Amino acid sequence: MNKPWLRALVRTQRHRLVVARRARRGVPVLIYQMGKVGSSSLYASLSEQYTGLTVHTHDFRSNHADYRVRWLYRRTITKGQRLKVITLTREPVSRNVSAFFQNFQRLVGVATEEVDMTTEELRTAFLARYPHELPLTWFDDNILECFGINVFAQAFPKEGIARHVKDNIDILIMRSEIDDDAKSEAVRNFLGLTGFRLRNVNISAQKPYGEMYGRFVKEVRLPPGYIENMCASRYFRHFYGVDVRREVEKKWQAP
């Protein structure tokens, strides 16, 4: 078999067989959330410890570039078969700062390794170029849009873990700030997965931009109006409370 197109076709068919086989071993799990909320750790851990199919995406649609997402979309939305969804929240200011550095080159036009910007210059770029509303509307734009589930319709427990079930969709929501033991227990209960343990990957401080990111987090102070917009949002008020708001203001807000 010396034809590249034929080898690629065989690899694709094998991959699809593996996907279908894993889907038969248990209800497929879709890790579906905005970026920079700790989902990479969850995906890596489940891929190792759950024998069923696990798919990770920030975008669930029928024409997705990833075959597994397209296949799972047809299976779930078109055919109505069962799907378990795990999604996470994160305090939006910290999440946006982390996402800004993760996507720095795309947003600013140059790699972090190639610039030497002051904290004030980084602050200006962050405020001007990052789409700050993304976490505030994510659940409406994605969970409500895809599955018809309004996560804001019921109060979010102070423990930081909630579950929503509608028809063939079963969703677990976890606040990313709860400790790993609590997350591990929630996933064990959600999937009936005895012995599941979460392991951490994709930590921003360990990335090539880690030093710049760490300096920014330590030194930057953001405008009161920006903090107010984040903390007064329905997203923040639903998933977080007054105590977290005080922490956000103390950590991020300019005097």
State the Cα–Cα distance between residues 31 and 66, nearest whole angstrom.
Answer: 14
Give residue-wise pLDDT tens across range 163-190. Answer: 999 999 999 999 999 999 999 999 999 9
Q: pTM for this structure?
A: 0.89
Contact partners, residue 254, CB within 8 Å, separation at least 6: 221, 222, 223, 224
Amino acid at 248: V
The answer to whether 161 touches 74, Cβ cutoff 8 Å, is no
HSE-up of residue 48 (Cα within 13 Å, Cβ side)? 11
Amino acid at 69: V
Give residue-wise pLDDT tens across range 83-114. Answer: 999 999 999 999 999 999 999 999 999 998 89
**What residues are paired with 57 via a beta bridge?**
32
Look at residue 200 in the predicted model and tell me its pLDDT. Answer: 79
Hey, what are 120's tokens?
């004030």
What residue ranges do the domains of the chain occupy?
Answer: 4-252
pLDDT, average across residues 113-131: 96
HSE-up of residue 139 (Cα within 13 Å, Cβ side)? 24
Hey, what are 58's tokens?
């920030």
The answer to whether 216 touches 122, Cβ cutoff 8 Å, is yes
CA end-to-end span of the chain, whole Å?
A: 68
Collapsing DSSP states into helix, strand and coil, what is residue 68?
Answer: helix
Q: Please tell me the class of the 4-252 domain.
A: alpha beta
Look at residue 10 in the predicted model and tell me its pLDDT. Answer: 47
**What residues are paired with 172 via a beta bridge?**
86, 163
Per-residue pLDDT for 206 more than 90? no
Q: Which of 27, 12, 156, 177 is nearest to 88 (CA)?
A: 177
**119-129 and 210-219 helices cross at what angle (nearest 10)?**
90
Lowest-confidence pick of 6-10, 11-15, 77-81, 204-208: 6-10
Distance of CA 41 to the CA centre of its chain: 10
Distances (CA, A) of 242 to 135, 158, 163, 238: 19, 12, 23, 11
Contact partners, residue 22, CB within 8 Å, separation at least 6: 51, 52, 53
Collapsing DSSP states into helix, strand and coil, what is residue 107?
Answer: helix
Amino acid at 19: V
